Copies of this chain bind each other. A is one copy, B any other.
Amino acid sequence: MTIFTSLPEMQQLAERIRQQGKRIGVVPTMGALHAGHLSLIQHAQEKTDIVITTIFVNPKQFGPTEDFEKYPRDIDRDVKMIEECGCDIVFIPKKGEMYPEQFATFVGTESYENILEGKSRPSHFRGVTTVVAKLLHITKPHVAVFGQKDAQQVFIVRKMVRDLNFDVQIITAPIIRESDGLAMSSRNVYLSSEERKEACVLFQSLQRAEKLITEGERVSSNIIFSMKNLVEEKPNARLDYISIADWSTLEEMETIRAGKEILISLAVRFGNTRLIDNTVVNV
């Protein structure tokens, strides 16, 4: 496995790999890897000849009050895990090379970046689309793999790729969960043991929503009310939002209509730790 930190060297190698007629897959990560990330690498390996995993804690997608400084970092462990997966290349760019002084360009997706997660995290998605655009240009992939856990991120990246005509296929890999249903996340390490036990309530509330819909409930506010009650049973949980939206547009729906894919998503805080989860339901 080769490690690159230089942007031009990574880009030149990617160009050479393409010239050889090989297909490149990229898995953008912020490090602090878990089994969810490793599944993304596997998906990329199934689709392409050469897989590049990128590790970059992207300052532009953190708000001023968010956890950029204390975001978990353990490059040695990450690199070891990636190598054990049989990944070909790790790209670990430096912040100063990614965002030199005078950096001014950004990619935005207008209304899509200010809803759902974007309401709680202004500027987050602009940071994501900007860094993903950069990483796609540097690593020149045929396929890029993102996790469904960050559902709105996947939606917005797909939107950007389609709107700006990036010649890359975006693949979404399913959420990987702990045995009690908690979605794997680099932020789970922040949880106290008590919070950790309570945190499975995100998954439980999504299961409750799925059950209600299966039983015929179509009024979003009823489903949200029931989810909210479940979350509030946990003493350390503070609900940020629950949303029921059309997965093809991210528009929130008052009434669930048949023939739609529905994104049910929520964010819950435990202390300073903010967890998200979601499920897509076919109605």
Task: Determine if A258 is an interface residue (Cβ-Cβ < 8 Å).
Answer: no
B105 adjacent to A108 (CB under 8 Å)? yes
**Beta-carbon contacts under 8 Å, A105-128 to B:** 105-112
Task: Determine if A213 is an interface residue (Cβ-Cβ < 8 Å).
Answer: no
Give the shortest distance, in Å, between A219 (CB) and chain B (any CB): 27
| A106-B108 contact, Cβ under 8 Å, with A133-B164, A164-B134 | yes
Task: Determine if A96 is an interface residue (Cβ-Cβ < 8 Å).
Answer: no
| A129-B108 contact, Cβ under 8 Å, with A11-B165, A134-B164, A137-B166 | no
Hey, what's the 0/1 contact readout for A167-204 against B, CB within 8 Å counting as 1?
A: 10000000000000000000000000000000000000
| A112-B106 contact, Cβ under 8 Å, with A7-B165, A137-B164, A137-B166 | no
Q: Which of B19, B105, B106 contacts A21 (CB 8 A)?
A: B19
Give the shortest distance, in Å, between A94 (CB) and chain B (any CB): 14
**Beta-carbon contacts under 8 Å, A1-18 to B:** 7, 11, 15, 18
Task: Determine if A34 is an interface residue (Cβ-Cβ < 8 Å).
Answer: no
Q: How large is the interface on A (under 10, 10 to 19, 20 to 34, 35 or more residues)?
A: 20 to 34
Closest to A7 in B: B165
A137 vs B137: C-alpha distance in the bound complex, in angstroms? 10
Task: Determine if A159 is an interface residue (Cβ-Cβ < 8 Å).
Answer: yes
* B contact residues around A249 at 8 Å (CB): 102
What are 19 A-B pairs at a CB distance below 8 A? A11-B165, A11-B167, A15-B167, A18-B19, A102-B249, A104-B109, A104-B112, A104-B159, A105-B108, A105-B129, A105-B159, A106-B110, A107-B164, A130-B164, A134-B164, A137-B164, A137-B165, A137-B167, A138-B165
Interface residues of A (CB under 8 A from B): 7, 11, 15, 18-19, 21, 102-112, 129-130, 133-134, 137-138, 140, 159-160, 163-167, 249
Inter-chain pairs besides A107-B164, A130-B164, A138-B165, 10 sampled, C-beta below 8 Å? A11-B167, A19-B19, A102-B249, A104-B111, A105-B107, A105-B129, A106-B107, A106-B108, A108-B108, A133-B164
Q: Which 3 A-B pairs have the closest CB atoms?
A: A105-B163, A137-B165, A104-B110
